[in-house]
Amino acid sequence: MAALTMAEAASKVMVALDKPDADAALRLASELQGTGCWMKVGMELFYAAGPSVVRELKARKFRVFLDLKMHDIPNTVRGGSRSLARLGVDLFNVHGAGGLAMMSAAVEGVQEAVTAGEAEHLPMIIAVTQLTSTSQSVLNEEIRISGQLEEAVVHYAKLARTAGLQGVVASPLEVEAIKLACGTDFVTVTPGIRPRGAALGDQSRVMTPYDAVKCGTDYLVIGRPITAADNPAEALNRIIKEMTES
Ligand code: C5P
């Protein structure tokens, strides 16, 4: 694989804007304006600031991944997905654990929004396989799914592909197995990224940005190593540089 340019590397980074309110999030977004990275809006920010913060990020020309991990009955997920398509997000996710009918309903919801002229474009939809904070023992002993973590992840990835989703959220450690099972064009979005020497926090299945790119991951979700840095733009730049060396 040819080495990435700085611009290509930047367009693969999704910065997790895990901030408690719109002011804090938009301050951080301003510091990262023009870098070419995505913004990932998760529950903490969305539940506090609502759709307007997404509209503001879109107005500032960021691509937005809305990480709300929908998991409900198919009819509710269809309606929720239609609303997110209308909002104009570029990517959102649902839980693979919701099953085939639920994931298919998400695809139908966004198609309905486009057909009805409520949305300009179809957002990409991906499935959460297993959270990157889930360890093998949590999977087997608490969630009571038997077998190896990687098998559970690949199973959900195949189910997501059958439902018509474009990809999955997974640990970078699982990218090779997912691509092997679902094809190289099946998108992988990987949190659990930690530059060498960075604190793990609550993540348990982690990889460096350099290794994640080498494994073929499409998008790297990175939160605290950037957002908790004294200078987030500098931290992002260091990570992008590391990715181009892969
Ligand atoms: O700060 P950190 O780099 O650990 O942030 C990772 C981000 O990715 C968080 O916003 C978290 O909610 C999200 N995420 C994750 N594992 C998943 C899906 C999303 O860590 N499987």
CA distance 24 to 22: 6
The protein residue with its alpha carbon nearest to ligand 1, atom 14, reads 191
Q: Are 140 and 107 in contact (CB under 8 A)?
A: no
Q: Which residues contact 91 (CB under 8 A, 6 or more apart)?
A: 38, 63, 64, 65, 66, 123, 124, 125, 126, 189
To the question of whether residue 55 is assigned a binding role by annotation, the answer is no
Ligand 1: centre distance to CA 220 (Å) = 10
Pocket test for ligand 1, best of 132, 133, 202, 236 (most atoms within 8 A of CB): 132
CA distance 8 to 113: 30
The protein residue with its alpha carbon nearest to ligand 1, atom 12, reads 42
- Residue with the two structure tokens 């901030």: 19
pTM of the model: 0.95
DSSP secondary structure of 133-150: T--HHIIIIIS---S-HH
Q: Token digits for 34?
A: 């023009």
pLDDT tens across the length of the chain (246 residues): 678 999 999 999 999 999 999 999 999 999 999 999 999 999 999 999 999 999 999 999 999 999 999 999 999 999 999 999 999 999 999 999 999 999 999 999 999 999 999 999 999 999 999 988 888 999 999 999 999 999 999 999 999 999 999 999 999 999 999 999 999 999 999 998 999 878 888 877 789 999 999 999 999 999 999 999 999 999 999 999 999 986
Q: Are 92 and 121 in contact (CB under 8 A)?
A: no
Handedness of CA 152, 157, 160, 162 (dihedral sign): negative
For residue 1, the model assigns a pLDDT of: 66
For 12-44, b where at least 16 C-beta lie within 10 A, e where not — what string?
A: bbbbbbbbeebebbbebbebbeebbbbbbbbee
**Does 67 qualify as catalytic in the annotation?**
yes
